[in-house]
Structure 1
């Protein structure tokens, strides 16, 4: 086995939910159908990698920042769509299990945190890692031996083309840039108005926020010409309040932070390939196109099960 494939379950699931509506009886089923298709395509694209679907628990970040993802609770349409997706999640988990794919969750961690933990462990063993997600937060984990692939937009980013694709030299710089800019989707404010334009320049010129602070404390320090227009904002950033805001954002955003709590009720749901059980699910949900080509659809998962059996032997 060349390594592991870490799959962001809700990233694939929400994307699948937003496709054309499918129903079985009164329940929407498009999230289930397209999740399974995306899962199969991903396995075929990275054959030999051991897949693990990672699911979100209730994030520990809510306990540190009351405004975390607050706007997502204000849109009635988004809330209703989320509820329709949640109704399908048990079916997704059940189908994934019958296809022989492992799943993991901790009740106080997001899938992002699990990805950070498992990536670190895999790299310490010398294993390669494929990150499957549309969530760009996972880009901070890219390094030699780790690549990120968004199956929805069909975008792949490796450490070799990281700067070309992201504007940052590596994953750590990407993380620090994000901490400077903030994250509107998670309702995390930025630091002193340092936005999309200033953050990449600062990190390109100085290498890291810490090196910028050190340089700014040097007698006779002058900002590079490209940053001169941001002088006031960067001066404020060097003050204690700016440093504290940056440190707080890093704590929330760093997927390898030592400040997060230990995972609670960490569970590994081990999948076992069961063609008959998967066929029954497809029949219950009226997935006729999968049933017509069931052997071909299942082949990618059956091969994955054989790899697992060979490892066990």
Structure 2
């Protein structure tokens, strides 16, 4: 099998790095750089262990897109720090680290991709959907991206790092089927997530329907659309309590799929070069390393990028 296209869910990874490493890791000016160091170290591990032919750091151009908020106003509402600016609540000591991360990616020539009005998930969904040559691996701590897994035309896997890189799980259609009892391909996971909901994203789900019940219903009927049609037609295979819950949550059910499903057709804005390995402006990278006291994590990443 050819070397994969690796897609990094960047914000997910640097948030996790921030909380995993101590803020005592600081630059000479006293600013914490724990997220930068952790993120750099993780990318180095990804390149070394997954051996991608291409690597893309996918970014949020809009962490809470208007089209999702219009569909479900509660979407990520609990994370809003400044409603007027639609600004996300981010730890004060993480915010100044993000520009350093972007500078480091730029110095290394690591490709970034974002799409105006969309989240990194949508960029990942689009790049994975349209890849027709190589296998795809999505590196993330977000289960929402399980909906991207597939076998054809090229396999897409999620390398789930929710418990850290040392406990990373490679999730494909077989793992989705085994863990959730869902059909092994495509939108079944997203359909289940609509019913289950996700309080961390402000998605209420359907009252009385947890993950197991949602998975059983989607598996029985094949898709959310088929399930809703059966409920509307009074199909006796849909329990009365479920039909009543659907009627009570009709507006949510009409809008939630647009929120939960990742886009697969966004227009990406690019920087850098996804192809690995390659030559890098070593002096510039080392200057950033020394300026911010990023240590051996950057050395490992530089070596990994250069092959």
With the shorter chain as reference, the TM-score category is 0.7 to 0.9
Match for 1:302 among 296, 301, 306?
A: 306
Alignment of 1:96-111 (within 5 A): 96-111=105-120
Contact 1:99 1:278 in 2 (8 A): yes
Match of 1:136 in 2: 143
Separation of aligned partners in 1, 2:73 and 2:222: 32
Alignment of 1:90-169 (within 5 A): 90-122=99-131, 125-144=132-151, 145-151=155-161, 152=164, 153-169=167-183
Change in 2 beyond 3 A, CA 1:108/1:97:
same
Change in 2 beyond 3 A, CA 1:177/1:46:
same
Q: Counterpart of 2:93 in 1: which secondary structure?
A: helix
Alignment of 1:274-293 (within 5 A): 274-290=281-297
Gaps of 5+ in 2: 83-87, 274-278
Q: CA deviation at 1:235?
A: 3.6
Separation of aligned partners in 1, 2:126 and 2:115: 12
Contact 2:74 2:202 in 1 (8 A): yes
Match for 1:84 among 68, 84, 93?
A: 93
Q: Is residue 2:18 matched to residue 1:41?
A: no
Match of 2:10 in 1: 9
Contact 1:182 1:189 in 2 (8 A): yes
Change in 2 beyond 3 A, CA 1:2/1:158:
same
Change in 2 beyond 3 A, CA 1:108/1:212:
closer
Q: CA deviation at 1:80?
A: 5.5
Instruction: Show CA shifts across 1:83-128 (max 9, x none).
Output: 3212111111111222231011223110001111111111xx2332
Contact 2:72 2:252 in 1 (8 A): no
Separation of aligned partners in 1, 2:117 and 2:98: 18
Q: Is residue 2:206 matched to residue 1:204?
A: no
Separation of aligned partners in 2, 1:208 and 1:64: 20
Query: After the TM superposition, which of the residue ranges 136-145 and 62-71 deviates more from structure 2?
Result: 62-71
Contact 2:13 2:140 in 1 (8 A): yes
Q: Counterpart of 1:197 in 2: which secondary structure?
A: helix
Alignment of 1:229-308 (within 5 A): 231-237=240-246, 239=247, 242-256=249-263, 263=267, 266-271=268-273, 273-290=280-297, 294=299, 297-303=301-307
Instruction: Show CA shifts across 1:192-248 (max 9, x none).
Output: 4322232011122222233334444667x433xxx75xx3233442x4x64442231
Match for 2:187 among 172, 179, 192?
A: 172
Q: Which is richer in helix?
A: 1
Separation of aligned partners in 2, 1:166 and 1:27: 43
Query: After the TM superposition, which of the residue ranges 34-43 and 58-67 deviates more from structure 2?
Result: 58-67
Q: CA deviation at 1:168?
A: 2.2
RMSD: 2.6
Q: CA deviation at 1:43?
A: 1.0
Instruction: Show CA shifts across 1:41-88 (max 9, x none).
Output: 01112213310001112223234433221112379xx9461x321211
The TM-score, its normalising length taken from structure 2, stands at 0.82
Match of 1:20 in 2: 22
Alignment of 1:47-66 (within 5 A): 47-58=51-62, 59-60=65-66, 61-66=68-73
Q: In terms of Rg, which structure is larger?
A: 1
Q: Counterpart of 2:38 in 1: which secondary structure?
A: helix
Contact 2:36 2:294 in 1 (8 A): no
Separation of aligned partners in 2, 1:242 and 1:72: 24
